[in-house]
Each structure stands twice: as C-alpha cells, then as structure tokens.
Amino acid sequence: MQAKNNLSQFVNMIFSYKINFFAFLFLNIFSRSFSINKIKQILNNKSINCLPFSNLIII
C-alpha cells in the first residue's frame, strides 16, 4: 500500500511539474516576444546596425 501511495504521489508530482513547465514556457515565449518588440524599438530609435543583435534575439 505504501509503494502504491508513493507511486501516485510521484505521478501527481510529474503532472504538476508538466503543468508548471507549460505555464513557464508560455510566459517565457510571451515575455520574449514582448522584449523583442522593445529591443527593436530601442534599436530603431538609436538607428544601430542590429544584424548581430537580431541573430541573438531569435535564438
């Protein structure tokens, strides 16, 4: 019974980690796209040659 309980706890833990991971991924993508727009605005305002920057940002 104890082993079965541990297994169900383990499955619940993995499931919650999965949800947290997807939430983190979504937040990460959202914040990254927001910051790319911000950086593009800054680069356009200062009219810097942004070729080396754009490669870094896309990764």
What residues contact 39, with CB distance under 8 A and at least 6 apart?
53, 57
pLDDT in tens, 23-36: 888 887 777 777 77
Residue 43 near residue 53, CB atoms below 8 Å: yes
Mean pLDDT (the chain) is 70
Q: Provide mean pLDDT across the span 32-46.
A: 71
Cα Rg of the chain, angstroms:
21
Alpha carbons 13 and 8: distance in angstroms, whole number: 8
pLDDT in tens, 12-25: 877 777 777 888 88
Q: For the chain, what are the domain ranges?
A: 2-58
